[in-house]
Amino acid sequence: MAQAQTASYVHGANQMPLLGQTVGACFDDCVARFPENEALIVAHQNVRWSYADLKKKVDAYAAGLIALGLAPGDRVGIWAPNCWEWVVTQFATAKAGLILVNINPAYRLAELEYALEKVTCRALITAEQLKTSDYIAMLGELLPEVGKSKSGTLKSKKLPDLEWLIRLGRGRSPGFLNFEHIPTMAKKEHQARLNELEGMLQFDDPINIQFTSGTTGAPKASTLTHHNIVNNAYFSGLQMKLGPKDRVCIPVPMYHCFGMVLGTLLCVAHGSTMVFASAGFDVHAVLQVLDREKCTVLHGVPTMFFAELDDPEFKTFDLSSLRTGIMAGAPCPVELMKRVMDEMHLTEITIAYGMTETGPLSFQTSVDDPVERRVTTVGRVLPHIEIKIVDDEGRVVPCGTPGELLTRGYCVMLGYWNDPERTKKAIDEAHWIASGDIATLDEEGYCQIVGRIKDMLIRGGENIFPREIEEFLYTHPKIEEVEVFGVPDEKYGEQVCAWIKLREGESVEEQEIRDYCKDKIAHFKIPYYVCFVEDFPMTVTGKVQKYVMREQMAKELGLVSEEVA
């Protein structure tokens, strides 16, 4: 029997070796093994392709991108919601050796300009519009030269490196090349070049740039390699026992690691089917596609699962085909996990944890883990990854002691693009990258995320982790969602504040919440302020923005001036 560990350090030693594959090689390997398997279903675009069909598209577009004069290492941005073109672009750019730059569909002009300039994109693939955002008009405002340019000849003062603007859809726009025309540009020499690149591209080459959605400062351009994301997708799939018969519903955005690594690439690594319900998250469309396509796997952030469970027509859909999936991207409440397992048939659902800079996962529960472990922890470290938990001085803490979680291994990014100073701050000389998360490891290596360092509040000298209070409040039968954070207080430094969303049709008084907590949690953890809300400020990836809530409450309570807030 193995001796229980005493220090908060784990290494995912594993007999299964890392894959020495590029994204393109991983894709071709999947097609060779499962050519007739359904590869891609996009409900809102009426697309249903086998892996053989998808390969024809991918190779044709890869050759076309080469014909545009794009060379290995060039950056190609994509600014679009979930669609078949996104998936084809992901694998076509990889096979051509181009670095795909994921651009948040919610970005406005200033953010788009920053992203394109930061990584000096040579081409941008863009949707026509999304909701109220007219992408073509916005680009016309950013690049006034485009209307007088022929496609591929753009000479912009603001973005001198940008040459190609490529638009989705059937409409025509001056200065833009239509996405569907890319394959027609390729000739025999471009096909030959594509075949040549197959033996030249290396798995340590950069292949993807993702912008982190920080709450302060400009976004950082995390640069990931083939090796980072291929292996992360592969080993994550093993945790779920994924195979060619699985059908994976992907409602999370493709521009995020969750969509393109743990969604599409994960499917390719295991021969599974990718299923998209809609361009952006639409709860009804997701439930419809789960039923109609008999999906076995469902991914999502907690807010998505809440929305699905609370849909008025939820019980009319047959979800009995569901088996597993990943809940990640934000803290996953225990009570929500139990509901998902019970009411959605996701008896083998997993919780995963990581960060964009680690491509993305470092921890994940397994379908074989005991239920208690799967609902209360983020599992154990994934194969070939190291984790340590340290105190303020960088010393490894004993098991069970909270500290900051650090990661090392194949999954750690190359760095932040063209930003050596930020890279040096993020990754130390021993190649550990800090997460900013407070975690504990138990003696069996299971990890619990206690909270964010910046979210921890100190009330009268007591360190309080909001996650602990949130988990307790989720046991209240009338509470659907809750977020806890600190607000300034003259006497104690900070006071505990809870924002609560009640279940439909329920009503509760503030004092009832405090009475529920009394004698069940420490007195200093009981919320001093209780606020009932309809929703929470969110990022587009489903992460709650506690700093926005903190600023809003402080302003409402007159604890800071409006200018500061």
| Residue whose tokens read 């472990």 | 373
Q: Is the pLDDT of residue 220 over 70?
A: yes
Q: Is the pLDDT of residue 314 over 60?
A: yes
Phi then psi dihedrals of residue 141, to 5 deg: -70, -40
Q: Binning pLDDT at 50, 70 and 90, where does residue 541 land?
A: low
Q: DSSP string spanning 494-531?
A: EEEEEEEEEPTT----HHHHHHHHTTTS-GGGS-SEEE
CATH architecture of 23-36+50-211: 3-Layer(aba) Sandwich (3.40)
Q: Binning pLDDT at 50, 70 and 90, where does residue 460 land?
A: confident
Please tell me the predicted confidence (pLDDT) of residue 455. 85
Please tell me the predicted confidence (pLDDT) of residue 531. 95
Question: d(Cα 552, Cα 565) in Å, to the nearest integer?
Answer: 7
With pLDDT > 90 as the criterion, what percentage of the chain qualifies? 82
Q: Is the pLDDT of residue 171 over 70?
A: yes
Q: Is the pLDDT of residue 384 over 70?
A: yes
Please tell me the predicted confidence (pLDDT) of residue 133. 86
- How many alpha carbons fall within 13 Å on the CB side of residue 500? 30
Class assignment of domain 457-556?
alpha beta
H helix runs in 126-198, sequence order? 135-142, 188-198
Of 293, 196, 213, 307, the residue nearest 258 (C-alpha)? 213
Q: Binning pLDDT at 50, 70 and 90, where does residue 4 land?
A: low
Is the pLDDT higher at 155 or at 18? 18
Please tell me the predicted confidence (pLDDT) of residue 561. 37
Residue intervals of the chain classified under CATH 3.40.50.980 are: 23-36+50-211
Sign, CA dihedral 388-391-395-401, equals negative
405: CB partners within 8 A, 6+ apart = 387, 388, 389, 434, 435, 437, 438, 439, 447, 449
Q: Is the pLDDT of residue 3 over 60?
A: no
User: Residue 546: left if φ>0, alpha if ψ -120 to 50, beta else—which one?
Assistant: alpha
Please compute the mean of the pLDDT values over residues 505-513 and round it to a whole number: 95
- Nearest-5° angle of CA 81, CA 85, CA 86? 50
Please compute the mean of the pLDDT values over residues 340-366 and round it to a whole number: 97
With pLDDT > 70 as the criterion, what percentage of the chain qualifies? 97
Please tell me the predicted confidence (pLDDT) of residue 562. 37
Please tell me the predicted confidence (pLDDT) of residue 564. 30
Q: Binning pLDDT at 50, 70 and 90, where does residue 215 land?
A: very low
Question: d(Cα 31, Cα 50) in Å, to the nearest integer?
Answer: 9
Judged on CB neighbours under 10 Å (0-12, 13-18, 19+), 171 is: exposed
Q: Is the pLDDT of residue 559 over 90?
A: no
Please compute the mean of the pLDDT values over residues 359-363 and round it to a whole number: 97
DSSP-derived secondary structure letter, 67: H
Q: Is the pLDDT of residue 405 over 90?
A: yes
Structure tokens at 111: 């953010």
Q: Is the pLDDT of residue 563 over 50?
A: no
Please tell me the predicted confidence (pLDDT) of residue 540. 63
Please compute the mean of the pLDDT values over residues 289-301 and round it to a whole number: 97
Please tell me the predicted confidence (pLDDT) of residue 213. 63
Per-chain mean pLDDT for the chain: 93
pLDDT, tens digit, for every residue of 421-458?
999 999 999 999 999 999 999 999 999 998 888 888 88
Q: Is it true that the peptide bond before 360 is cis, omega within 30 degrees of 0? A: yes
Is the pLDDT higher at 249 or at 522? 249
Q: In whole angstroms, what separates CA 339 from the centre of its chain?
A: 23
pTM above 0.85, yes or no: yes
pLDDT, tens digit, for every residue of 56-71?
999 999 999 999 999 9
Q: Binning pLDDT at 50, 70 and 90, where does residue 565 land?
A: very low
Please compute the mean of the pLDDT values over residues 187-195 and round it to a whole number: 98
Q: In whole angstroms, what separates CA 65 from the centre of its chain?
A: 27
Please compute the mean of the pLDDT values over residues 120-131 and round it to a whole number: 95
Please tell me the predicted confidence (pLDDT) of residue 468. 87
Please compute the mean of the pLDDT values over residues 394-405 and round it to a whole number: 96
Q: How many residues in total does the chain contain?
A: 565
Residue intervals of the chain classified under CATH 3.30.300.30 are: 457-556
